[in-house]
Amino acid sequence: MSELCERVIVENYGLIGIAETCVTDLVNDAELSIDGYSMFRKDRGTRGGGLILYIKNTIRARVNEDLTNSKFAESLWCNVKIEHQRLLVGLCYRSPTSTVENDEELLSVMEKAVLQTTAHHVLIMGDLFPRN
């Protein structure tokens, strides 16, 4: 965590997405927070997985509950407003052992994000591809 905080200070990122956080609700927000950033977090609840999205405090952001609570469990979506532009940010994690059904749910939530958003732009990031 200290290494991440040092990097953030140097690079001054606007937003940071981290997949496979591997933390549970036993880890409190204070242990994961970064000064100057709002933190949005979605833990898997079991070993592995988990997502954290850090967005600079100067940027207005809120969780998009509809997309975040979709059938594809490992995704976190935020509506972001930068100047006069609306941005939908999605952070997703697809396990290398993902089932065909789970892959279809991932594609479904991505399609819903792109087709039903009122945002000007959509950014989807994360760990989505199988490992070889």
Residue-range domain boundaries for the chain: 2-127
Quick one: which of 81, 77, 55, 58 has its CA closest to 67? 77
The tokens describing 122, both together, are: 């959509």
Q: CA separation (Å) from 102 to 21, 52, 99, 124? A: 20, 20, 5, 17
> Contact 4/33 with Cβ under 8 angstroms?
no
The tokens describing 130, both together, are: 């199988």
> Contact 113/67 with Cβ under 8 angstroms?
yes
Per-residue b or e along 6-27, where b marks 16 or more CB atoms closer than 10 Å to that residue's CB: eebeeeeeebbbbbebebeeee
> Contact 112/124 with Cβ under 8 angstroms?
no
The tokens describing 127, both together, are: 């760990």
Measure the CA–CA gap between 132 and 120, rounded to whole angstroms.
Answer: 35
pTM for this prediction: 0.90
Res. 77: pLDDT tops 70? yes
Quick one: which of 109, 55, 90, 50 has its CA closest to 74? 50
Query: pLDDT digit string (tens) for 81-130?
Result: 988 899 999 999 998 888 999 999 999 999 999 998 889 999 999 988 76
pLDDT for the residue 130: 66
**What CATH topology corresponds to 2-127?**
Deoxyribonuclease I; Chain A (3.60.10)
**Three-state DSSP class for 100?**
helix
